């Protein structure tokens, strides 16, 4: 499949910069949008054009993803159920329950086919979000990783090759996390303080390394399973709108065109309901602040000790000793 030369210009890319390519075919978004309710026409047109011209092909999920499907399927009942104990307690899954904030998070970035349109939509709607980066994707498209941050979003670590780390060796877990930390630092110049485990699967080793490195493990409490073939734009809309509530962390995938289409409807409706759409760091800072205030109000001991684990500082400028020194397996996904 030919790939677009996206974001050829540096810095804050223009969403139109990728239109002048050869893949002007197969316009796929039609009048299915609820234009009148969902978004200003200009936004709709922008996204419609971006998606249509981008000629997205929803990436077929291969071995790693199928592993994930099993993992997600087996844990799907927990995704919207905070009382489920499949994920350890100190894995962050939501912000404060009294907050007006909701965080949209996008996994498996940067994915070239879909990222420009996704960024264009978020820019048009003035939404800031959190993108979890796969190290191998960052290596393939460092300019797209930088484009995410240039638009005001933040990034987190989503491992190097998207392996299920639950049963991985301590050495591999460390390499998967460290390699991507180092790439993010080298390519973007920032240090990620969030780790989202592939498929949401964690182990004691994952927790130990993240704790040592000052990285918070962040999962979610709203999961429309947007990457699955049996979900649709409408089901994604329905799932998010039914489940997103105060302090929710919404799991979405930066690889899915139907997700972009769904967001055209989701974003305005969440705002109509009074939610602020924020980055994870804002959501968790708000949670820590509220918990501290409550703690003070009831005269409990140390303020802030019940924070959700938001890393306040880093003890290491970067992690690991170099991505290129690792012998990590190739990512078994159709990389852009």
Q: How many residues bind Zn ion (CB under 5 A)?
A: 3
Contact call for residue 108 and Zn ion (CB under 5 A): yes
Site for Zn ion in 263-302 (CB under 5 A): none
**Smallest separation (angstroms) from Zn ion to the CB of 162:** 6
For residue 12 the two structure tokens come to 């804050």
* Shortest distance, position 80 Cβ to Zn ion, whole Å: 18
Distance of CA 141 to the CA centre of its chain: 16
Q: Is there a contact between 159 and 299 (Cβ–Cβ < 8 Å)?
A: no
> Using alpha carbons only, what angle is made at residue 287 by residues 284 and 292, rounded to the nearest 5 degrees?
130
- Quick one: which segment of 48-56, 108-116, 145-153, 304-312 binds Zn ion (CB under 5 A)? 108-116
Q: Which is nearer to Zn ion, 15 or 108 (CB)?
A: 108
> In this complex, which beta carbon is closest to Zn ion, that of residue 61 or of residue 285?
61
Q: Is 268 exposed, middle or buried, given 0-12, 13-18 or 19+ CB atoms closer than 10 A?
A: middle
> How far is the C-alpha of 33 from the C-alpha of 129, rounded, in Å?
22
Give whichever of 159 and 311 is closer to Zn ion, judged by the CB atom.
Answer: 159
Q: Please, are residues 323 and 183 in contact by the beta-carbon 8 Å criterion?
A: yes
Q: Please select the residue that binds Zn ion; options are 15, 107, 174, 176, rule is CB under 5 A.
A: 107
Write out the E strands in the chain.
Answer: 101-109, 130-133, 154-157, 194-195, 216-217, 249-253, 276-278
Nearer to Zn ion, 46 or 159 (CB): 159
C-beta separation of 132 from 158 below 8 A: yes
Residues 186-245 contacting Zn ion, CB under 5 A: 198
Provide the annotated active-site residues.
Answer: 107, 253
Residue sitting closest to Zn ion (CB): 107
Provide the minimum distance between the beta carbon of 64 and Zn ion in the complex, in angstroms, as a whole number: 9
Binding segment toward Zn ion, per CB under 5 A, in 12-20, 105-113, 215-223, 298-306: 105-113
Beta bridge partners, 252, equal 106
Residues 178-197 within binding reach of Zn ion (CB under 5 A): none
Binding site for Zn ion (CB under 5 A): 107-108, 198
């Amino acid at each position: 499949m030919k790939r677009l030369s996206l974001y050829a210009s540096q810095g804050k890319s223009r969403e139109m910069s990728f239109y002048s390519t050869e893949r002007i075919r197969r316009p796929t978004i039609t009048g299915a949008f609820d234009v009148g309710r969902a978004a200003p026409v200009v936004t709709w047109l922008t996204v419609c054009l971006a998606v249509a011209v981008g000629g997205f092909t929803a990436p077929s999920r291969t071995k790693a993803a199928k592993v994930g499907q099993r993992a997600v399927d087996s844990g799907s009942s927990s995704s919207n159920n905070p009382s489920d104990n499949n994920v350890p307690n100190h894995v962050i899954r939501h912000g404060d329950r009294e907050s007006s904030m909701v965080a949209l998070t996008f996994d498996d970035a940067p994915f070239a086919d879909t990222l420009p349109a996704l960024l264009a939509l978020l820019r048009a709607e003035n939404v800031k979000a959190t993108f979890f980066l796969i190290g191998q994707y960052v290596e393939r498209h460092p300019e797209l990783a930088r484009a995410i941050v240039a638009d005001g979003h933040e990034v987190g670590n989503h491992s190097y090759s998207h392996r299920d780390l639950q049963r991985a060796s301590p050495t591999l877990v460390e390499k998967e996390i460290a390699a991507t930390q180092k790439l993010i630092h080298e390519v973007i110049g920032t240090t990620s303080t969030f780790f989202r485990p592939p498929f949401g699967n964690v182990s004691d080793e994952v927790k130990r390394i993240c704790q040592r490195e000052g990285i918070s493990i962040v999962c979610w409490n709203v999961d429309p399973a947007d990457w699955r073939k049996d979900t649709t734009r409408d089901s994604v809309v329905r799932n998010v709108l039914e489940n997103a509530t105060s302090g929710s962390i919404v799991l979405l995938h930066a690889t899915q065109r139907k997700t972009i289409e769904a967001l055209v409807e989701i974003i305005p409706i969440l705002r109509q309901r009074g939610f602020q759409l924020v980055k994870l760091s804002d959501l968790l800072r708000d949670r820590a602040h509220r918990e501290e205030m409550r703690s003070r109000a009831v005269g409990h001991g140390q303020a802030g000790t019940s924070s959700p684990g938001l890393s306040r500082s880093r003890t290491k400028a970067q992690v690991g000793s170099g991505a290129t020194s690792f012998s990590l397996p190739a990512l078994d996904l159709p990389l852009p």
